[in-house]
Amino acid sequence: MDYVKTDLLVIGAGSGGLSVASGAAQMGADVTLLEGGRMGGDCLNYGCVPSKSLLAAGKAAQAHRGGAAFGVTPGAPEVDFAAAQRHVADVIDQIAPHDSVERFEALGVRVIQEYGHFVSPSEVEAGNCLISARRIVIATGSSPLVPPIPGLIEVPYLTNETVFDLRERPGHLLIIGGGPIGIELAQAHRRLGCEVTVIEGARALGQDDTEMAGIVLDALREEGVQIEEHAMAAQVRQRDGAVEVEVTDGRVFEGSHLLIAVGRKANVERLNLEAAGIEATGAGVAVNASLRSSNRRVYAIGDAAGGMQFTHVAGYHAGLVIRSALFGLPVKARTSHLPRATYSDPELAQIGLTEQEARDRHGVTLKVMRVPYAENDRARAERQTEGMIKLMVVEGRPVGVSIVGQQAGELIALWSMVMAHGLRLSAVAGMVAPYPTYAELNKRVAGAFFSPRLFESPTVKRVVRLVQRWLP
C-alpha cells in the first residue's frame, strides 16, 4: 500500500471540495483530493448545471407560445426532446474541464480517484493508498433521498441523477415532491411537451413565503402543470405499463414515468466516521460554528455539514475553512446573509426571514414593504409584470427579503451584501440603478420604508415651509 503524507486532505470533488483544494494549493499547501465518482460532483453533473440548462431549453420553447403581446404570431414549438437533453450534456461538457483532474493536477493538487474512509483520527484509506493528513475536509455532498414508499422498490423511478439521461420524452411525468427540484423539473418538462403532475405531501415550496410561492405555483398551473398538495404518497405500483401513485386519501395518479424529488441526504455512510471520532446526526456531520467536527482535525462543509444545501453555501464554507486550516484564523459560519433561489419562471428568491418568520420573531416592531413588478418600467417593457419584492425591516435594517419574478435570483444578491455587512436601508435607497432595470425594484422597496416619513410627516412639511420663507 502506498503511503501519502499531506497538509490538507479534501474528501469529495464537488464545488466546495474543489474550491478548498484549488485555493489551498495555490497558497502553497500540500493538498490531496479524493473523488471516487465524477469530478464536479452533483452540481455539475446532476444538479445546478443540468437543471438550469433544461430550464433554458424549456424557456426557449415557451417563447414560441407567448409572442402575441409583442406582435409576434404565437405557435406551438417543435421540440426535439433528445436534442434538448444533448444541449444539457453539452453545457456540462463545456464546464467539465474547469473541474477536471488535469486542471487540478496542474494546480499542484494530488488527485486520487478513489472513495476514501477513515481508519484513524488523522488517516484515510483510499484504494491502495493510506493518507495521513494534518487537516481533513469532508466535502462529500449529498444524494437524492428515496423515501420508503410501499412498492417503490419494485417500480422503475428517476432521480435528479438519472432524469437527464432520458432521450425519449416522457408522456406523463409524475413527480413526488414539490420542493425546488420538483418544481423546476416540472416546469422544464411541461414546457418541453410533457404532461406533468406534482404530488406533494404538504405544501409545495413549503419552505418559502406562502404568498410568494403561490405566485409561482399559479404560474405553473396556468401552463398546465397539475400540482396536488397535501397528497402524501402511500403506495406506488406498475399496471399495464403505467406507473400509479396512490395517496393517503385514496386518489390515484397515473403516468408514464416517475421522478422522486423529496429531498437529499448527506453522503457520509461510507466514510467510517466512528474510526476518526467524528459525530454525525441524521442531517450529516455535526459541526460547530467554525465548521469543525468533534475531531478538531476534521472539517465538514456544504451538504455534508447538514445545513443549507446549496452550491454557493459550499463555496462560502470553503473560504472559511481555508482561512482556518491554512492560517489558523478564527472563523464563524453564518446563515443570515445566505440567499436561496428557485429558478422557475417566475423565479423565487429568499434571504433571511420570510414574512411569517419575521412576524413571529419581531412582532409589532416589524415593518413590511411591498413593491409589485407591475410598477417597474423594465418589467412593463418586457411583459414580465407578474411578481413582487417584499422587504422585512426592523429598526431600519432588513431582516429578510422575498422576491418573486423575473431575475429574482439576480436581484437577491444585493441584499446578501447588505445583510452580510449589516448595512442600513439608507444604503440601498441612496444607490443609483441604471434606468430601466429590474434593479430599480431594490431601490424602490428600500425607498418605500422612508416615503411615509418624508411625504406624510407634518413635521417635514412645516420645516419645508419654514425654510422656503427664509431662502433668498
Domain annotation for the chain: domains and CATH numbers: 2-39+100-144+265-327 (3.50.50.60), 152-262 (3.50.50.60), 340-455 (3.30.390.30)
450 compared with 106, residue with greater pLDDT: 106
Q: How many angstroms separate the CA atoms of 339 and 349, rounded?
A: 7
* Res. 37 pLDDT band, cuts 50 70 90: very high
- How far from 467 is each of 237, 456, 460, 462, 463, CA to CA, in Å? 79, 18, 11, 9, 6
For position 383, what pLDDT does the model report?
97
For the stretch 123-182, pLDDT in tens is: 999 999 999 999 999 999 999 999 999 999 999 999 999 999 999 999 999 999 999 999
Q: Are the CB atoms for 301 and 138 separated by under 8 Å?
A: yes
For the chain, what's the residue count?
472
C-alpha cell at 169: 420524452
Look at strands 264-266 and 257-260 and give their pairing: unpaired
For position 284, what pLDDT does the model report?
97
Q: Is 73 annotated as a binding residue?
A: no
State the chain's mean pLDDT as an integer.
Answer: 96
Q: Provide the percentage of residues in the chain whose pLDDT is more than 90.
A: 94
* pLDDT score of 268 more than 70: yes
For position 456, what pLDDT does the model report?
67
Cis peptide before 398 (omega within 30 of 0): no
Q: Are the CB atoms for 274 and 121 separated by under 8 Å?
A: no
Q: Which of 109, 83, 117 is nearest to 27 (CA)?
A: 109
For position 459, what pLDDT does the model report?
76
Q: Is 372 annotated as a binding residue?
A: no
Q: Is the pTM of this model over 0.85?
A: yes
Q: Are the CB atoms for 298 and 138 separated by under 8 Å?
A: yes
Q: Is 138 annotated as a binding residue?
A: no
* pLDDT score of 13 more than 90: yes
For the stretch 178-195, pLDDT in tens is: 999 999 999 999 999 999
Q: Is 200 annotated as a binding residue?
A: yes
Q: Is 179 annotated as a binding residue?
A: yes
For the stretch 296-313, pLDDT in tens is: 999 999 999 999 999 999
Q: Is 116 annotated as a binding residue?
A: yes
For position 460, what pLDDT does the model report?
67
Q: Which of 449, 80, 141 is nearest to 285 (CA)?
A: 141
| Residue whose C-alpha cell reads 488517516 in the numeric block | 123
For position 454, what pLDDT does the model report?
60
Q: How many angstroms separate the CA atoms of 174 and 226, rounded?
A: 10
* Res. 458 pLDDT band, cuts 50 70 90: confident
* pLDDT score of 279 more than 70: yes
330-362 burial by CB neighbour count: b if 16+ within 10 A, else e? ebebeeebbbbbbbbbbbbbbbbbbbeebeeeb
Q: Is 140 annotated as a binding residue?
A: yes
Q: Is 250 annotated as a binding residue?
A: no
Q: How many angstroms separate the CA atoms of 216 and 179, rounded?
A: 12
* Res. 471 pLDDT band, cuts 50 70 90: confident
Q: Is 180 annotated as a binding residue?
A: yes
For position 133, what pLDDT does the model report?
98
How far the first Cα of the chain sits from its last, in Å, is: 90
Provide DSSP, 400-424.
EEEEEETTHHHHHHHHHHHHHTT--
Q: How many angstroms separate the CA atoms of 386 and 389, rounded?
A: 11
Cis peptide before 436 (omega within 30 of 0): yes
Q: Is 322 annotated as a binding residue?
A: no
Q: Is 123 annotated as a binding residue?
A: no
* pLDDT score of 18 more than 90: yes
- Contacts of 51 by beta carbon, 8 Å cutoff, 6+ apart: 160, 181, 184, 185, 188, 343
* pLDDT score of 468 more than 90: no
* Res. 467 pLDDT band, cuts 50 70 90: confident
Q: Is 71 annotated as a binding residue?
A: no
* Res. 27 pLDDT band, cuts 50 70 90: very high
* Res. 470 pLDDT band, cuts 50 70 90: confident
Q: How many angstroms separate the CA atoms of 211 and 238, rounded?
A: 37
* Res. 276 pLDDT band, cuts 50 70 90: very high
C-alpha cell at 437: 432595470
C-alpha cell at 30: 500540500
Residue type, 400: G
Order of strands, sheet of 233-239, starting from the edge strand that comes earlier in the sequence = 233-239, 242-247, 252-255
Q: How many angstroms separate the CA atoms of 428 and 30, rounded?
A: 43
Q: Is 437 annotated as a binding residue?
A: no
Q: What is the pLDDT averaged over residues 398-421?
A: 97
SS3 of 298, please? Answer: strand
Q: What is the pLDDT averaged over residues 362-385?
A: 97
Q: Is 177 annotated as a binding residue?
A: yes
